[in-house]
Structure formats: structure tokens, C-alpha cells
Amino acid sequence: MPELKKQLEKIMDEAEGAYADVIVQFKSEKDKSLSRLLEVVVDTERGRAMMVDPAKILPPVARAFDGSQRARTLLRKSDASLAANIALDARFDALRGVISVDVADNFLNSDIVSRAVHSAKSRLRGKAKAAEPMHLDNIGGVRMVVHKQDLPGIIDEKKERVEGIYENFHIKAPRLFEASAAQLNQDEPYDGTTWGLRQTRALAAWSTFGTRGLTKNGTPVRVAVLDTGVDPDHPDIKGRLVDFAEFNGSGTIVNSGVANAFDSDQHGTHVAGTIVGGNASGGWIGMAPDAELISGLVLDGKKGGTLAQVIKGIEWAVQKNAHVINLSLGGLSFESTVGTPYQRAIVDALVRGTLVVAAIGNDGHQTTGAPGNDYFSLAVGAHDSRQRCAGFSGGRTLVLDQSSFIDSKHLPLVYTKPDLSAPGVAVKSSMPKGKWASLNGTSMATPHVSGAAALLFAATDLTNSPADQRAFLVKDLLLGGVTDLGEAGQDQRFGYGTINVLRSIDEALKRGF
């Protein structure tokens, strides 16, 4: 177990204080399915490496997914489509439900683990409640607090069950970067919407396809924003919020319901406005103003949050039937994150039909932030109104040398992030207490893509697609519809190009979705 030993040593060396707040992930019968799914993705991405036309990513026609022999022929012709390649391979049908609760209970109730947990709770006294173990069902694991000296014994005795152990690391709340006067002056002439709505072609999509977030049967597309919370009384958001939950550091919901919603900072309200905001300011700010919002407060504006908070937020959003999850959060990372808890949570969401959209980070070229750099996330970079890459926007090529899930024959695995870019400079949106502001960041670019996904769901019948196909189809359609910027094909600054939701919807309808 060299990888498990390395993970343990890292926690022992880097975790502050005498106690370790950790996430333990368990082995499961689902691991073979996950491994196979990763192999399909690896094969597909490698096939795209020399591709210069993003349109080749588009999925085949809808009838290609009906399971017939003729349909399989159509799937094979779309060799750059992730949805098509996944549909061709049925060896990971059982991926849903990564782990049973019984496995986690048996682990926590074992003598060595229960003694370590009880000892930590006794010694922590006033913080005992925060040390209470938490099931993380969507990743097949638990979060727990134990004394560092107890960890080696636990891992040694339970190594046959343990897939990995990770620090429940702290995540800072995203900083707010106000646009400068010079950046504001670069905006195109005002015509009743933000420049982002115009450049992403959202405004054109509204008029062309007759929807701003309502599906054909009149049901709103549901978008989850996991962030610092949201101000439900802002005039651009009021009436769009339908659910709210606040999570503490262990991942426990401590507050819920629209009546109790609030923004612990300002960031979440700004992000939410770019997705569902109206025109209370005199101009439209939201990509899909008729969609509905659910808000998970996973980052306290002053204290930040933890990995467990975000993981439970993702689980909550999927359980609440979100079509899209927006993650304008994360932390600078110089390591690839394949196989971490983030990946388990993202994959679990995808196979249940929920698209996960994540910011690539604001630390500039040759850096990335997790979970935007996860292999499965739809990672978003930022550009300005003249379609120039923002200097702060992250992006790099990552090299993965070791993985618990990917066969060694595929390693080293090389992949590039972001996947695409969107407006992220001088983005006007809502702020708490009925205010507005123009901010910079990949956090501002990400909700443009989440809003575009909401419009794609609304203008098509994709909400009726099988859950295990839905998110992969939307991902292919968004990437295949981009307007290529920068180098031909995928690059480290723009990904495959900038979001063009008008084209993505048009291509989806042409294919019968």
C-alpha cells in the first residue's frame, strides 16, 4: 500500500496541531466500475489531443443512444464524444451508490476506530461536537477527528478496507476583486444587458429558442450554487431561491430553508446573480433568469470552509435534483487531483445526471485550483470583453504519475485545464443589501457556463434523458459549441474556446435532443 502510506505520511507532516481532521475513503465493489469509467475518459481525451475542431466533440444524434446495433454504429463514429464512448461501454453500469452505509458503520464501530474517536471527543471537550464523525456517502467515506498518534494504527489495522486517507483541508472564501475604471471602460456600449450575456449569446438564445430557463413543460431548470450563501431578498434574486442549507466544518446541515437564507459574505450573491439574476438594476444580469436557484452555504465569508463541507454540499445538491452545480471556489494546487474525494463526489454527481462546473482559479498561468483541475470537472477560465485571456486566469497541463483507479498502462496521464472560458472581467452582478458591483475572477466566469447549461437544458429535452447520460451529453454539447480562441484546439488559456450557448442549443436540437 505505498500510496496509502504516502498519504498518511503527508497528513502526519502537514496537519497542524495534535489532532488530524481527516476523510477516509473505503474500497468498494464499485471501484472496478470507476476504474473502467476513467479508462473510457482517458481514451477519449487522448483521442482529442491532436483535434483542432471543437465541433468534433459534439455527440451523435439522439437515436444513437437507444441501445440498438445500428445505434452503436453511430456511436462509434463520434469517437471524440465522451457521451458516445461511455454509452458504448456498459461495464460501469453499477457505479451509482459508491459505497454502502454498512461499510462506513462497520469501520466507525470497530474497536480501534471507536476508541480513537471517543478519545478525541473527550480531550477536545468544548469542540467535541465538531469532532463527531460524518458519513460522506457520495464518496464512499467518512470524515472524523482523531489524535495523530492513533492514525497509523487505524490505517495499519484497516488497510484492507481503506482506499485512501486525506486531510479535511481548509478552503478560504474567495476574495472579491473589483474591476478597475480602465476595465469598466473596455465594456461594449450598454444595451440593456451585461456584456457577458451578449458575448455568450445568451440574449440571442432567449429570443431564438423562447426560453430563459423554463423547460418546455414550464418547469424551471434547477441550478445549485455552493458558495458563501445568498441574499434571498436582493431584487434581482427574490423569488428565484427555492431551497437553502448551511453546512458546518464537519458537513452537518446547521440551518436550512429559504426563510433562513443569508450570505455570509458577498461572493455567493454575485455568483447567483450571474445565473438567475433579473433586471432590477435596469439591465439584465442573469444568463437564465427564469431558472430556479438552490444555495448551499459551504464557505463562511470570514472563516472559510472545509473539504467535507463542499463534499456534503455536492451530495445535498444532487439529492435536491439540481441539474447543474456551480463551484466558484477552491484552492491553489500544484498536484493533480485524480482519485481524491473531489473526484468521487464529481463522478457521483455526473452519473446521477448533475453537471459540475468549477472555476480554474485566479493565480495565473501555470497554476490551477482544485476542484477545477479535477479530471471530471468542467473547468472554466476567464477572459475580458475583447476576448483576451485575463492575466489572473489559471491554466496548465497536468501530469499524473500515480492513481488508485487508472491502470498503470495509461500512466503517466497528461491532461490540460481549463476546458473552456467565459466572461470574467468587469462582470456586473448582484451584491447583498440590494447593491450591484462589477467584479473580476474565474468565479465570475463559472456562473456564465452554469447559466448556459441551464439554458441548454431548458431549450431541449435533455432533462428527460437517462440520468447516466444527461450530464455527459450536456458537457459534450457545451464544449462542442464553443467559439475557438487562442491556439487551435484545447490550450491552457481558453480551453477549447469561449462559451457560445446559442450554437450549443442549435446543435442539440439538430441532433434531436
Active site residues: 227, 267, 443
Q: Give the DSSP H/E element, type plus range, for residue 267.
A: helix 267-276
C-alpha to C-alpha distance for 231 and 37, rounded to whole angstroms: 39
User: What sign results for the dihedral spanned by CA atoms 338, 342, 345, 351?
Assistant: negative
Give the C-alpha separation, 152 to 146, whole Å. Answer: 11
CA-closest candidate to residue 166, choices 411, 414, 404, 380: 404
- Dist CA 89 CA 40 (whole Å): 8
DSSP type of residue 180: P
The residues, any chain, with a CB within 8 Å of residue 433's CB and separated by 6 or more, are 231, 234
Q: Is 494 exposed, middle or buried (0-12, 13-18, 19+ CB in 10 A)?
A: buried
Cα–Cα distance, 454 to 202 (Å, whole number)? 11
The 3-class SS string of 428-478 reads: EEEECCCEEEEEECHHHHHHHHHHHHHHHHHHCCHHHCCHHHHHHHHHHHH
Buried b (16+ CB within 10 A) or exposed e, 278-311: bebbebbbbbbbbbbbbbbbbbbbeebbbbbbbb
Q: On the CB side of 95, how many CA atoms lie within 13 Å of its CA?
A: 27
Residue with cell 440571442: 204
